[in-house]
Structures are given as C-alpha cells and as structure tokens.
Amino acid sequence: MSFTLRPLAPADFEQVRPMLLDMGFVDDEAALAARFTEFYTRPDWGLLGAFETEMLLGYAAMQDYGPHLRSGNRHRTAKLHDLYTAPQARRCGVGRTLMQAAEAWARARGLRYLFWYANLREATPAYVGMGYTAGEEVQEGYRSFEIDFGDANTRSPAPERHC
C-alpha cells in the first residue's frame, strides 16, 4: 500500500469525522466540525493524515503541552491524543508511519517526552507490535506509553525528602 503523509486541513473533515466518531468520547457531534477547524489553526497541536491519493487512511493528533512551570523546556511534554487507522488499512504500515511522524513532530519541537494511553483490546497490542513498551499500570482499561527523547544520563532525579 502506497500512501503519503501531510497535515490535515479543514477540507479533510468529512473524511476525518467518521474516524473521530469511531474513536468515541465525542460529547457534541454538532460542534465537532468547528472544533476540528479551531484545532487545525492552533500552534500547539499537530494533526497529520495518511492518504492514498485523496482517501484518508488514518490520522494522528498530538498536543504540545508547552514549557513546564518548574523546568521550562527541559521536560517539555506532548500527548498523542489519537492515532487511528481505517480498518481496511490496518496492518499495512499506516499506524507505524503515523507514529514515526508523531515522534518526528515531537523531536522537531524540542520536546523531551511524548506520552499516550491505549485501550487494552486493539491499541495496546498494536503499539507493542510496533516496538513500544507499555507502562505497568492499567487504569480504566488503558495502558500508558511514554517515549523519552532525552539522554538518560543527563537526568537529575528529584531530591529526596526527609520528614
């Protein structure tokens, strides 16, 4: 399967809409189009699509949380909110390519961490199959994942507290 990646645009909404709805947790379907257009223009969000010609095969949505209050940009973090691959395009490299693009997006912004949550049924096995390691804790049917782009040898641990 041959496909290309590009930022999503408002004109892509009709193809993204069913994917957003399939992901669940849409609280106001009527407001979804306006929210999509707003998020498209926000500099702290990245919305990427994988396309075969003009057909959307999947998308990724990431948010840069900005500088930390205490550490500034040193521990700057982003969350991968969504990674979705259309059922007919699964197991064809679309999800893996979108994940690589999400990592590249985070690195290009100078971020230290990229994290996300994955449901236990479909998503966790897919991420593990891509080579990511799930966190040990399970909350409400989700596992957590995190990529640390920093050099582990330069991390300074939190100071010990003595009570």
pLDDT digits (tens, 9 = 90+) for 23-40: 888 888 889 988 998 988
Has residue 130 got a pLDDT over 50? yes
Q: What is the pLDDT of residues 133-157, one digit of tens each?
A: 998 766 888 999 999 998 654 544 4
CA distances to 64, 88, 114, 122, 123 from 145, in Å: 16, 25, 8, 14, 11
Question: In the chain, which ranges are E strands?
Answer: 4-7, 45-52, 55-64, 77-85, 113-119, 138-139, 142-148
Q: Where would I find the H helices in 24-139?
A: 32-41, 94-108, 123-129
Domains along the chain?
4-151 (3.40.630.30)
Mean pLDDT of 58-84: 92
